[in-house]
Amino acid sequence: MERKTCIAMVPCPGLSHLIPIVEFSKRLILEHPNFQVTILIPTLGPPTPSTKEILDTLPPSIDSTILPQVNLQDLPPNIHLATQMKLTVKHSLPSLQQALTSLSSRTHLVALVCDLFSSDALPMAKKFNLLSYFFSTSGATSLAFCLSLPQLDQRTTSEFIVDTTKSVKFPGCGVPFHVEDLPDPVVLFGRSTETYKAFLRVCQRLSMADGVILNTFTDLEDDAIRAMEEHQRQLTNGTPCVYYYPVGPIIQTESRSQQNESKCISWLENQPKNSVLFISFGSGGTLSHDQLNEIAFGLELSGHKFLWVVRVPNKVSSSAYFVGQKDDPLDYLPRGFLERVKGQGLVVPSWAPQVEVLGHKSTGGFLTHCGWSSVLEGVVHGVPMIAWPLFAEQKMNATTICGVLKVAVRPRVDGESGLVKREEVARVIKVVMEGDESLHMRKRVESLSVKAARAMSEHGSSTKALSSLALKLQSCNGKC
């Protein structure tokens, strides 16, 4: 029997990177059953229960190997999340090489797929004579910025980093981006820091791969996709050496956990159509205690129904990204809040079945941290959004959905306290849930939902892009 064509995937640590790669792998083998995927997972600690749930339910054509755990003591203290993820992959390279050696000896291994922060693994593709690809867990617009950063870095002054009152334009951006809304490694650190330099090196590597797999679709980010393709043509005098494959929207079709599912869905069943605001900050986002209180009081002020996923507050916005939380999040809500909103809303601790909630007829709005997977889920289900970015490239995503796509509204931060005050929370809820602006946003996002379904249909643009990628991989006969 002929061996299946095998692809190795290397996500960086974190559920928000693992899940899109898993979902892409499922889509690939569904459309092209002659493929086999092995996911090689660098880790900074033992797998979380959520990670185990995902890996335990993989279909037979997708294997996974959790690489030996990197010792936290081997990493510098108090480093940024992006640096931590990148260094975890870097320290895992010896074990990754061993895994690839084993894999290539027993399979028809043709390609290595990394995401942006596992790019240190990319040179291994040459060692094993493989095709190399980036899988972008972010949108095409933020990736277009990454592709432009080396040029921006060369021709701009240090004001590009430190003056957050300025704006920057780059090919494919649609609207100017405020400097303060650029990815964390660019804004939070100066050019002389290792964090910024490491991010710049990651961006430079984008032009070194054979292709980039984009979790987006042409009708959503056509300008950004075309700008990246044009960038490659200019670099190579008209013959691109890096190909872009917009294969999305690739999202979960069902939630990975049943925690709070029956409670949430039963409650939604008793609410009017489009009446509920769903509030969730993703798999790792957290708020300060003061901000948690302001949201609670703002929800009360708005008078609108809501379903809120609450986490234990923390001043570090990404504090739940790697580490589980043991306290009861509901203990941190304002005194008497749960009693006062009994008829208005439902509050659940830590987790809700986001896919099912967004797809429910009663859900009429989505307050999101603007992680790209959550943005795509909001678009696919046709739900207008409140953009509340926390870290990473989420502010860029917020600018895209508010300023370019116009399917979201972003609250104003109080300059003195650094918080979104309760009155502002109530205001943006009303913008999304009632009135003419709400209707316009809903029509636009519902139109994008239709286009997303069309892209993923049998003859849709994303299905064709996936077929083009599959054809390229199948044509690799071991001499890539």
3-state secondary structure 442-470: HHHHHHHHHHHHHHCCCCCHHHHHHHHHH
Beta-strand relationship, 167-168 and 177-178: antiparallel
- Output the average pLDDT for the chain: 91
pLDDT at position 189 over 80: no
How far apart (Å, rounded) are the C-alpha atoms in residues 272 and 293? 27
pLDDT at position 12 over 50: yes
CATH 3.40.50.2000, applies to 261-454: yes
The pTM for the full model equals 0.94
Task: Count CA within 13 A, CB hemisphere, residue 272.
Answer: 5
Q: Of the ranges 64-78, 139-153, 181-195, which one carries the lowest mean pLDDT score?
A: 181-195
Q: pLDDT per residue over 376-391, tens digit each?
A: 999 999 999 999 999 8
How far apart (Å, rounded) are the C-alpha atoms in residues 426 and 409? 12
CB count within 10 Å of CB 405 equals 20
Q: What mean pLDDT do residues 77-86 have?
A: 84
* ∠ Cα 79 81 83 (to 5°): 65
pLDDT at position 60 over 60: yes
Q: Which amino acid is at 342?
A: K
Contacts of 142 (CB under 8 A, 6+ apart): 183, 372, 393, 396, 397, 400
pLDDT at 323: 53
Residue ranges, comma separated, of all CATH 3.40.50.2000 domains in the chain are 5-248+457-474, 261-454
Peptide bond into 249 cis (omega under 30): yes
pLDDT at position 322 over 60: no
Using pLDDT thresholds of 50, 70 and 90, give the confidence band for residue 110.
very high
Question: With the C-alpha atoms ordered 127, 128, 134, 135, is the resulting torsion angle positive or negative?
Answer: negative
DSSP state of 48: P
Per DSSP, what are the bridge partners of residue 131? Answer: 111
Q: Where is pLDDT greater, at 17 or 1?
A: 17
How does DSSP assign 321-359, residue by residue? TTS---S-GGGGSPTTHHHHTTTTEEEEES---HHHHHT
Q: What mean pLDDT do residues 79-106 have?
A: 92
Q: pLDDT per residue over 447-464, tens digit each?
A: 999 999 999 999 999 999
pLDDT at position 479 over 50: no
Q: What is each CA distance from 307 to 271, 333, 336, 353, in whole angstroms? A: 11, 14, 17, 11
pLDDT at 162: 55
Question: Is the Cβ–Cβ distance between 210 and 239 less than 8 Å?
Answer: no
Q: pLDDT per residue over 199-215, tens digit each?
A: 899 999 998 899 999 99
Question: Is the Cβ–Cβ distance between 395 and 389 less than 8 Å?
Answer: yes
Q: pLDDT per residue over 354-378, tens digit each?
A: 999 999 999 999 999 999 999 999 9
**Residue recorded with tokens 């979790």:** 215
Looking at domain 5-248+457-474, its CATH architecture is 3-Layer(aba) Sandwich (3.40)
pLDDT at 300: 98
pLDDT at 48: 85
Both tokens of 358, joined, read 């967004």
Which of 253, 248, 250 is closest to 355 using CA atoms? Answer: 253
Using pLDDT thresholds of 50, 70 and 90, give the confidence band for residue 156.
low
Q: For the chain, give the percent of residues with pLDDT over 90.
A: 72
Q: Which amino acid is at 157?
A: T
Q: Of the ranges 26-40, 131-145, 198-212, which one carries the lowest mean pLDDT score?
A: 198-212
Using pLDDT thresholds of 50, 70 and 90, give the confidence band for residue 259.
confident
Q: What mean pLDDT do residues 262-270 have?
A: 96
Q: Where is pLDDT greater, at 49 or 291?
A: 291
Distance of CA 335 to the CA centre of its chain: 34
Q: What mean pLDDT do residues 140-144 have?
A: 96
Q: What mean pLDDT do residues 441-445 have?
A: 98
Q: What is the 3-state secondary structure (H, E, C) of 368-404?
A: ECCCHHHHHHHHHCCCCEEECCCCCCHHHHHHHHHHH
Residues assigned a catalytic role: 17, 115
Contacts of 136 (CB under 8 A, 6+ apart): 115, 116, 143, 212, 213, 214, 215
